[in-house]
């Protein structure tokens, strides 16, 4: 039971952290929407520049935030699935014991 309680606590903490990361994700995507410029975008608009685009137009930091957020969500979903699976197993075992008259 200690193992499940620990996993449930970790899952809750990670869930709250992921919620905060999601807000950062929204901010990053807003910056990308406002600042991202590439040669492909300019070519589609028939705009040509005589020199290279400034480095900030690539929004590399914002794309890193989006990538970290996506991988964090995948990790959280795996942790959540494991935790819920263990909870279901523990509840099933407890219900089986109760039905046989072997209460915890």
Give the residue extent of every domain in the chain: 2-99
Q: Express each pLDDT in 49-73 by its tens digit.
A: 777 877 877 788 888 888 888 898 8
d(CA 74, CA 17): 13
pTM for this structure?
Answer: 0.59
With helix as H, strand as E and coil as C, how does 33-46 read?
Answer: HHHCCCHHHHHHCC
The confidence band for 43, taking pLDDT boundaries of 50, 70 and 90, is confident
């Amino acid at each position: 039971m200690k193992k499940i309680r620990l996993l449930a606590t970790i899952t809750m903490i990670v869930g709250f952290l992921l919620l905060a990361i999601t807000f950062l994700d929204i901010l990053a995507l807003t910056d990308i929407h406002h600042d991202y410029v590439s040669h492909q975008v300019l070519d589609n608009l028939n705009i040509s520049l005589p020199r290279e685009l400034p480095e900030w137009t690539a929004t590399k930091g914002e794309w890193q935030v989006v990538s970290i957020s996506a991988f964090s969500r995948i990790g959280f979903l795996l942790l959540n699935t494991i935790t819920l699976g263990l909870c279901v197993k523990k509840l099933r075992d407890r219900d089986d014991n109760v039905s046989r008259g072997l209460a915890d």
